Amino acid sequence: MAKLLKLRGGTTSQHSSFTGAEREVTVDTDKETLVVHNGSQAGGFPLARADGSGTSNFTITGELDCATLDVSGDADIDGTLEADAITIGGTAIASVLSPVAGSSSIVTTGALDSGSITSGFGNIDVGSSSVTANGGVVVDNITIDGTEIDLSSGDLTLDVEGDIILDAKGQQIYFKKDGTTFGQVQTEASPSSFSFESTVSDGDIIFKGNDGGSSITALTIDMSEAGSATFNNNVTAFSDERLKSNIETIDGGLAKILSMRGVTYTKDDKDNVGVIAQEVEKVIPQIVMTADDEMGTKSVDYSRITAVLIEAVKELTKRVEELENK
């Protein structure tokens, strides 16, 4: 017949002040576990049950090998946590903290495949470090992947305290609608200049504004007319005497006008009238400009011919008056 060994026991509260004798073993009736005493430590040393229940803290100096680890409180890992897969569940994760000062990164030697981090996660604070996502980043309806930022719906607003800088190593910045380019701004390699370009066939460039609450079209550059410009109102230029020096009346205005000719011509399959810049340049070089392009294309400031016409009319009027007085 088996012998019955019955140990002394008591509640956890009773054990808290009990030192017992050296090597004495008692039973904690609340925790239903054995307690080993050394004769001096109040409360003794409770032993863990085989299933681990009833034990609030574990200190593992070696290796923990288990099928499932369910932690309802905090898990403090001072060394390295190595796992093939980690699933973090629950209703919400308020924060993930790295309390180690100077820690440069969290490293995965393989791949971190967690599906997604969804709403309710809280904030992810990486401090001054960087986040590398080779597979792209999805925030709400914004997808950032490689060289593109895509929105599945709505508008994209860039709201910054400072300036917005577009810095492209290439020459063009393109504007598109539904994938089709309709315009671009670019720098010209030679000569160095900045240009706006409508890339749609016969697509006009239009400048609009607001005049006293009403929308107006201030300027239309008609590409179907080879760049004909139409202003909504007057086009004026500075002509203040205080801005000029060496002012002299034009001499021989009538002779200059008689030395020029008005012509009809065809350009871009359209008939037109005007003058020839090279001919005008021989008579009034001040109103002929030469472009800094491969052809050295010449243009005429037609408005400034008016000054020569004024003096020509005055000369002609004087001659008429002289004839009338004879």
pLDDT, tens digit, 9 for 90 and up, residues 228-268:
889 888 888 889 999 999 999 999 999 999 999 999 999 88
Write the single-letter amino acid at 208.
K
312 in a domain, yes or no? yes
pLDDT at 191: 64
Tell which of 27, 53, 73 closes a domain: 73
Whether residue 172 lies inside any domain: the answer is: no
Instruction: Flag the least confident range among 64-73, 98-107, 139-148, 216-225.
Output: 98-107
In a domain, 51, yes or no: yes
In a domain, 47, yes or no: yes
pLDDT at 81 over 50: yes
Q: Please give the Cα distance from 173 to 183 (Å, whole number).
A: 9
Domain CATH code at residue 39: 2.10.10.30
pLDDT of 91 > 60? The answer is no
* Residue 41 structural domain: 1-73
* Max CA pair span of the chain: 166
CATH number, domain at 274?
1.10.10.10
Q: Is the pLDDT of residue 287 over 70?
A: yes
For range 203-231, the mean pLDDT: 89
The three-point CA angle 246-248-249 to 5° equals 165
Look up residue 257 and give its two tokens. Answer: 């006008």
268 belongs to a structural domain: yes
**Which secondary structure element, helix H or strand E, spans residue 33, and what is its range?**
strand 33-38
Pairing assessment for the beta strands 9-10 and 22-28 based on DSSP bridges: parallel
27, 55, 73 - which closes a domain = 73
Point out the domain boundary residue: 22, 38, 73: 73
Domain-embedded: residue 137: no
pTM here? 0.49
Q: In percent, how much of the chain has pLDDT > 90?
A: 40
Instruction: With respect to residue 105, please indicate whether it lies within any of the assigned structural domains.
Output: no
Q: Which residue's structure tokens are 């925790």?
A: 31
For strand 193-198 and strand 205-211, is the pairing parallel, antiparallel, or unpaired?
A: unpaired
- 121 found inside a domain: no
Total of domains in the chain: 2
